[in-house]
Homo-oligomer: A and B are copies of this chain.
Amino acid sequence: MNHPAAKLSPREPLIERLRAILGDRVSTSSSVLEQHGRGESWHPVHKPDAVCFVQSTDEVAAIVKLCAETATPVIAFGTGTSLEGQVQAVQGGICIDLSQMNQVLEVSNEDMDCRVEAGVTRRQLNQYLHDTGLFFPIDPGADTSIGGMAATRASGTNAVRYGTMRENVLGLTVVTANGEIIKTGTRARKSAAGYDLTRLFVGSEGTLGVITELGLRLYGLTEAISAATVNFPDVRSAAEATIQTIQMGIPMARIEIVDSAYIKAINAYSKTDYPELDTLFLEFHGTRAGVAEQVQMFNEISQDFGATGFQWAEKEEDRNRLWRARHDAYYAGLAVYPGYRGYVTDICVPISRLADCIAETQADIAASGLFAPVIGHVGDGNFHATMFIDPDDDAMLAKALELDHRMVQRALDMGGTCTGEHGIGMGKLKHMRNEHGDGAVDVMKAIKTALDPQNIMNPGKIVDC
């Protein structure tokens, strides 16, 4: 009996050597390759040649060494929730899946810090911390891996008060392009000892090395936490109230805009009954007296902008329900047109320009005819119009690309950035020179070439422009 010739990857000899190290933790099954060749975005799938499910930094180093010997691309993979094509293996290669490196290695209550393996997810970490009185605040919505969050400089709903991954990573263990293991940073809260390698690797999207462990800042749960929703006559009023709140210095823990189109989708998806109006989702952290004071100050500001219908959530379960509904907005949007995919924009502008930027964007969306509700971390000046598009409709994708392009240009014209938190990946490569200028991009490329001369670390991302 004749079998058809097996279709072997030209990288099969390398894959055999990887199997010698990892045994059956190397997969070439087509479903595994498919799953690891895509994020949560509209970008096309690019499958790696193999996926390695690693369990230690040493394993990562061994894999990268073999890949370096054979000039094979290496792509790190956490939970696959990236939105700009960060995990796509555009030149094939070896995907390193870090999800089995999921140990919380150390928690110091006294220093309010911890050390985790890169595959630990943020919910897992916060569950682990549940009885300590501490929490890790960065919350991009999805239950992402901490390593992936660092690699993309993630932030999310709490960043307005607690900062982004940039501010909350104390140090890293990284496997560099030659398979060396290096450590960056210390457990000290500040240091002036040489180049800030921690901040260089944070946001480098796996193009300079693979993050395998992280030291993180933690925060004490405050005495009082109060969450609420409040409605506004339009998005501009909600944005204006936000601007004034930030300018007054009210230390909001969360202040999130959700437009009426998104509220409708959320009500349908999450079985909630929020008034279908433009809404701010809020959270206040502090002492009991401090929260009362913040609420009163916010209340006065919001009245000036026509706010109505405060709905409060004080108990943990009620707050969790509120934020779960907020976080499920993306899936709620997907459910409106089954089969559509999300194309999420991500601009961030100086806060003074936020109301104009959102209002102009909403007019632009209306003119485009796309279904693109608006949501965002308005306390930071960051918001998303999520365009839900039919993957088989090229004209619709073209329209979305054009709208995105106009949004980016609007943000840059206002002194902002093309991406507040989702990163560059493949999706925003085309904006890099426009945002940074040729000189700064050339500096980035020089760094990339110096640290990864063979261009094997997640090639085709960030600096291939």
Contact = CB atoms under 8 A, between A and B. Distances in A.
Given A192-B203, A447-B447, A447-B451, A350 B197 contact: no
19 contacts: A110-B243, A110-B350, A112-B247, A182-B440, A183-B437, A183-B439, A187-B349, A187-B350, A188-B381, A188-B382, A188-B411, A191-B417, A192-B423, A193-B436, A195-B200, A199-B199, A200-B200, A219-B249, A220-B248
Interface stretch (A30-38, A48-56, A151-159): A151-159
A408 to B, nearest CB: 10
A169 to B, nearest CB: 11
Given A180-B439, A196-B166, A203-B195, A188 B446 contact: no
Taking the full assembly, how many copies of this chain does it contain? Answer: 2
Contacts of A440: 182-184, 197
A463 interface: yes
Given A164-B190, A196-B202, 19 more contacts: A109-B247, A110-B243, A110-B351, A112-B247, A153-B190, A166-B199, A187-B349, A187-B350, A189-B350, A189-B382, A190-B382, A192-B346, A193-B418, A193-B432, A193-B436, A195-B448, A196-B203, A289-B293, A450-B450
A245 to B, nearest CB: 12
A190 B436 CA distance: 14
A269 to B, nearest CB: 27
A186 interface: yes
A219 B248 CA distance: 10
B194 A432 contact: yes
Given A189-B380, A352-B110, A416-B188, A176 B443 contact: yes
Contacts of A167: 163, 167
A174 to B, nearest CB: 9
Contacts of A415: 186-188
A182 B421 contact: no
A197 B443 contact: yes
A153 B188 CA distance: 14
Given A192-B203, A220-B247, A416-B188, A182 B439 contact: yes
A203 B193 CA distance: 8
A446 B439 contact: no
Contacts of A280: none
A57 interface: no
A192 B446 contact: no
B428 A348 contact: no
A113 interface: yes
B188 A420 contact: yes
> A-B pairs with the 10 shortest C-beta distances?
A450-B450, A199-B199, A110-B352, A182-B439, A187-B415, A191-B417, A188-B348, A153-B192, A192-B423, A111-B350
A422 interface: yes
Contacts of A444: 194-195, 197
Nearest to A215: B415
Interface in A362-419: 380-382, 411-412, 415-419
Nearest to A449: B450
A238 B183 CA distance: 33
Given A112-B247, A190-B380, A451 B462 contact: no
Contacts of A195: 200, 203-204, 208, 444, 447-448, 462-463
Nearest to A175: B439
A155 B190 CA distance: 9
Contacts of A164: 190
Interface in A308-344: none
A463 B197 CA distance: 13
A382 B187 CA distance: 12
A85 to B, nearest CB: 14
A9 interface: no
A40 interface: no
A303 interface: no
Contacts of A442: 180
A419 B418 CA distance: 35
Nearest to A450: B450
Contacts of A220: 247-249
A450 B191 CA distance: 24
A444 B194 CA distance: 8
Nearest to A347: B188
